[in-house]
């Protein structure tokens, strides 16, 4: 029963971190859009409009994140503490988000 609760707690923590991270990206992009003066007065900006710079630079952001994540996994497996300790699951989650960004970012570009 203990592994079930531990797995549930870990899954909840990952979902919470994903929600907080996406909220932080949304807020930072909103502030940057306003500071750079790219606000469109004709209509209200949506969440996808605020993340437009992310779609424009999706490959420049996603590919180094994937390479850094792969380097961490190789280091952790061969010389580090192993894959069962440390932030391994968070690195895998970050790599998954980077892969989705690379895959779907160009199609969301306007």
Domain count for the chain: 1
- Condensed to tens digits (0 to 9), the pLDDT of residues 2-49 reads 677 777 887 788 788 778 877 877 777 777 677 666 555 555 566 666
Judge whether 42 lies within some domain: no
pTM of the model: 0.53
Residue 62 and residue 104 in contact, taking contact as beta carbons nearer than 8 Å: no
Judge whether 87 lies within some domain: yes
Judge whether 78 lies within some domain: yes
Judge whether 52 lies within some domain: yes
Q: Report the candidate in 17, 26, 96 with the shortest Cα–Cα distance to residue 54.
A: 26
Judge whether 82 lies within some domain: yes
Judge whether 8 lies within some domain: yes
Q: How confident is the model at residue 94 (pLDDT cuts 50, 70, 90)?
A: confident
Judge whether 26 lies within some domain: yes
- Condensed to tens digits (0 to 9), the pLDDT of residues 95-109 reads 888 888 787 776 665
pLDDT for the residue numbered 46: 63
DSSP reduced 3-state for 82? coil
For residue 25, give its domain range: 2-37+48-108
pLDDT for the residue numbered 51: 67
């Amino acid at each position: 029963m203990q592994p079930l609760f531990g797995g549930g707690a870990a899954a909840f923590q990952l979902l919470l971190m994903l929600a907080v991270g996406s909220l932080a990206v949304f807020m930072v992009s909103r502030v940057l859009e306003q500071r750079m003066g790219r606000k469109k007065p004709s209509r209200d900006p949506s969440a996808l409009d605020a993340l437009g710079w992310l779609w424009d630079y999706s490959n420049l952001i996603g590919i180094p994140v994937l390479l850094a994540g792969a380097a961490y996994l190789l280091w952790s497996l061969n010389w580090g503490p192993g894959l069962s300790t440390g932030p391994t699951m968070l690195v895998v989650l970050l790599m998954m988000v980077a892969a989705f960004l690379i895959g779907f970012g160009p199609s969301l570009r306007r």
